[in-house]
Chains A and B, each alone.
Chain A
Amino acid sequence: MKKTKGSKINETRQDKVFNAINTVILWLVLILVAYPLIYVLSASFSNPQAVSSGKVWLWPVDFTLRGYEVVFQHPDIVRGFFNAIYITVLGTVIQVIITIMAAYPLSRKTLYGKGVITLFFTFTMFFGGGLIPTFILINNLGLYNTYWALILPGAVGVYNVIVARTFFQTTIPEDLFEAGQLDGCSDFRFLMSVVLPLSKPIIAVLVMFYAVGHWNSYFGPMIYLADKQLYPLQIVLRNILVQNQFDSQMMMDVASMEQQKGLAELIKYAVIVISSLPMLILYPFIQKHFVKGVMIGAIKG
């Protein structure tokens, strides 16, 4: 909509009214989305008594870092945080490599049997064995209570394979393949030294899709991990936020029940902020990649 900028001079009264209404609508949306986020952030820095009596409504009241102190001293949370980082890094690296290994050959026009192999992959998007048979399989393979149970089943994200394949098809010209072939470049070498250097945008998209997925997932860890030492952050969060389980020994120094309850609430706010921190920091960088990913995915649709 670049043209509206140029035509500002002959804006009619009707257009002005339109603009005003439109701006009001967008402001409303903005406030509606941002307010809960700001509230949680402020509450995490406020005196719990002020939060529960409704004094906090926008900015922190009686600024305190008590919630964060408790959170950082809590061994489960700290361990969960590092476990989550470990799973996210390992899982993302493996998944990105495997996704490219699936997508690149399928992007080549000359691949014999391409249609059948593509169908082999895409069929799994529309039909699957479901939760129970998958669970039994993971058990039978001896992957229960290991991180492999979280990484391998989703290693080939079929949707992402299609996104990556579409990217390869549209950005790497067929002439380049032919030129490479004439020069005696093998398919391996072509992938490593021509395709990958040209594919940084799609690799960024894949990394983001998979990393966010791993960081945020709780269901896989919940059903496949039995050992508390292995729990990633989201499981610890679930226990604190949803199931209200929190070591009361962390709050030994707090006298009354009232205060304990208040601190428990404060910890919840703090833990929400902490767990979202990595995403918040990365968010400005990844945002445009996500947009790109959605758009590449949409070309197919």
Chain B
Amino acid sequence: MVKENVLDKNTTLALEKSNQLSFKQRLSKAKKRIMRHWQLYIILLIPVVLVAIFSYGPMYGLQIAFKDYIPSYGIEGSKWVGFKHFINFINSHQFSRLIGNTITISLYSLIAGFPIPIILALALNECTSTKFKKAVQMITYAPHFISTVVMVGIILLILSPSSGIINQFIQLFGGKPIDFMAKPEWFKSIYVWSGVWQGMGYSSIIYIAALAGIDPTLHEAAIVDGASRWQRIWHVNIPGILPTVTILLIMNFGSIMSVGYEKILLMQNSLNMAKSDVISTFVYRMGLESAQYSFSAAVGLFNAVINFILLAIVNMVAKKLGETSLW
């Protein structure tokens, strides 16, 4: 993509120099190019309009973060209040708790969830039986397709203090049943490890693809040099997938402040709130349950801006490190 653009620019630059096109001539040329493919623009029209309404429309609506939005006055009719809601949020007693929970949950997810798919892919790659390999892939991808509601339903059933299988095991070995969902200290582990269980197979696909792309002559050369299987993983496979690993790791760091609300909302209860409340669930609760539209829009915007900045920084780092970058 990027290369093409550069080429395009180069050729147009060269053309400009040689032909000394005036602005007018260029305009008419652009017109001609548009007219020749007018049908393509017609095709593009519906998607562009949809994105303009449903993606850029809410961005216009973001101004309510700086207003006291009252539905009957409309977005334009509500009074401007500047940064009031942002200041209120930063000064609120929930602020540190929300930021803390958001960061620890995503860091925990990253530390637990990032290496496991890589290890799984490396192990699958070494598997000598194709049938067994296929079976493992098939089974481990499957949980990805389970809906969040069903996933949380399974968690609640398995961890139930009265009838859940985990507590029956605990009792079998003489322990006392634990009401996992009522204990805030368990929340993050349950959230993260159920996520690992659900996602590890699917996340490994990309590494398996990267491993398949490694030049086989490298392995042949290593075999000739007497490298063991372990040494080949260490010196051929891991360096081979390192670019993929790096870009995914960087992308993960870029989204460290965004924890989704879908699963947490379902797992949340008044007993584990201290550890389960994150920015996105707070936005949902304040906005849609308590109808504090402006305040929660401000919290959401605060979060979105941080995410955007993080992503930009992370992308810059990626560019410095190598050729891989998001844009």
Do the beta carbons of B37 and A110 come within 8 Å of each other? yes
Interface residue A279 (Cβ < 8 Å from any Cβ of B):
yes
- Interface residues contributed by chain A, number (CB under 8 Å): 103
Contacts A19-B128, A117-B48, A298-B206 given; indicate if A218 touches B59 (C-beta within 8 A): no
Interface residue A15 (Cβ < 8 Å from any Cβ of B):
yes
Do the beta carbons of B165 and A39 come within 8 Å of each other? yes
B59 contacts which of A40, A127, A153, A223 (Cβ < 8 Å)?
A127
Interface residue B174 (Cβ < 8 Å from any Cβ of A):
no
Do the beta carbons of A26 and B136 come within 8 Å of each other? yes
Q: How would residues 299 to 321 of chain B score, 1 for a CB under 8 Å from any chain A CB and 0 otherwise? A: 01101100110010000000000
Contacts A18-B229, A124-B56, A130-B304 given; indicate if A135 touches B287 (C-beta within 8 A): yes
Contacts A186-B39, A187-B40 given; indicate if A129 touches B220 (C-beta within 8 A): no
Do the beta carbons of B197 and A300 come within 8 Å of each other? no
Do the beta carbons of A294 and B157 come within 8 Å of each other? no
Interface residue A172 (Cβ < 8 Å from any Cβ of B):
no
Do the beta carbons of A37 and B143 come within 8 Å of each other? yes
> In whole angstroms, what is the CA distance A191 to B168 when docked?
60
Where chain B touches its partner, the secondary structure class is helix
Residue of B nearest to A133 (CB): B61
Tally of A-B Cβ pairs under 8 angstroms: 283
> In whole angstroms, what is the CA distance A135 to B154 when docked?
30
Smallest CB–CB gap between A105 and chain B, Å? 4
Do the beta carbons of B138 and A287 come within 8 Å of each other? yes
Residue of A nearest to B203 (CB): A294
Do the beta carbons of A290 and B141 come within 8 Å of each other? yes
Do the beta carbons of B220 and A51 come within 8 Å of each other? no
Chain B neighbourhood of A51, CB < 8 A? 163
Interface residue B84 (Cβ < 8 Å from any Cβ of A):
no
Smallest CB–CB gap between A227 and chain B, Å? 17
Q: How would residues 98 to 131 of chain A score, 1 for a CB under 8 Å from any chain B CB and 0 otherwise? A: 1101101110111111010100111010111111
Residue of B nearest to A154 (CB): B54
Contacts A129-B58, A238-B266 given; indicate if A156 touches B148 (C-beta within 8 A): no
Chain A neighbourhood of B149, CB < 8 A? 216, 218, 234, 237-238, 241-242
> In whole angstroms, what is the CA distance A269 to B30 when docked?
62
The A226-281 residues at the B interface (CB cut-off 8 A) are 234, 237-238, 241-242, 265, 268-269, 271-272, 275-276, 279
> In whole angstroms, what is the CA distance A271 to B150 when docked?
9
Do the beta carbons of A137 and B54 come within 8 Å of each other? yes
Contacts A18-B230, A26-B123, A132-B283 given; indicate if A5 touches B300 (C-beta within 8 A): no
> In whole angstroms, what is the CA distance A124 to B304 when docked?
12
Do the beta carbons of B37 and A112 come within 8 Å of each other? yes
B47 contacts which of A4, A128, A156 (Cβ < 8 Å)?
A156
Residue of A nearest to B34 (CB): A112
Smallest CB–CB gap between B326 and chain A, Å? 8
> In whole angstroms, what is the CA distance A127 to B219 when docked?
43
Do the beta carbons of A26 and B127 come within 8 Å of each other? yes
8 more A-B residue pairs beyond the given contacts A132-B283, A272-B154, with a C-beta to C-beta distance below 8 A: A18-B228, A22-B126, A102-B44, A108-B37, A128-B59, A218-B262, A275-B147, A295-B209
